[in-house]
Chain A
């Protein structure tokens, strides 16, 4: 079935560690996105990519990094520089210039 797969669903991290969240899609979408969701807040855009080997910072990119080496894959690394990384992370994809996003199931990161 077509869709977006995020892994892991749950992740615990010690302070000072980098972690990488995986996102894979088989929808043949050009655009991919990473959002962060905190309780009581809307989705905030971390990074987005419209084409392979190119990506742009969103509203809250500090402390995060991404890569887009393949159309299907858009992994997110949460670095130790991210001050408050505990959150629900959502990966999404869409056709280019479309606001109709398809979301993965999300990854819940907890910093111990």
Chain B
């Protein structure tokens, strides 16, 4: 069974600090990695995707991928109270049909205090 592991948190950071969210995955052939943000009671929304080793930056968000260590992270700079949400890590896996199925972690809850 392919697995995606995340610390459930909550991860508490003060406003303006850097929040670091981590995720490990078990399937070595995975090639696509995603971070979704989910506010309480709402549906997930995609905030970052990363496909190759290294860093990918988008505004205050940076995704980091290390395939050798099977590790992907999300950094949020200058954290704001509006960033308080659950962050879901998702990794693609392959079915026998060729279908790329996303495997989701259980999410890390982030709390940003003013």
Task: Give A contacts to B, CB under 8 Å.
Answer: 40-43, 45, 48, 50, 56, 58, 90, 97-106
Q: Give complex CA distance A41, B86 in Å.
A: 12
Report if B28 contacts A (CB, 8 A). no
Taking CB atoms, residues of chain A closer than 8 Å to B107 are 42
Describe B's contact surface by its main secondary structure.
strand
Tell me if B4 and A56 are in contact (CB < 8 A).
no
Tell me if A43 and B104 are in contact (CB < 8 A).
yes
Given A43-B88, A103-B43, A105-B42: A97 and B100 interface contact (C-beta under 8 Å): yes
* A-contact 0/1 string along B7-38, CB 8 Å cutoff: 01000000000000000000000001010100
Q: Which residue of A lies closest to B106 (CB)?
A: A42
Taking CB atoms, residues of chain A closer than 8 Å to B103 are 42
Describe A's contact surface by its main secondary structure.
loop
Min CB–CB distance B74 → chain A (angstroms): 15
Specify which of A40, A50, A56, A103 is in contact with B8 (CB 8 Å cutoff).
A40
Min CB–CB distance B86 → chain A (angstroms): 10
* A-contact 0/1 string along B94-110, CB 8 Å cutoff: 01010111111111000
Tell me if B100 and A41 are in contact (CB < 8 A).
no
Tell me if B45 and A100 are in contact (CB < 8 A).
no
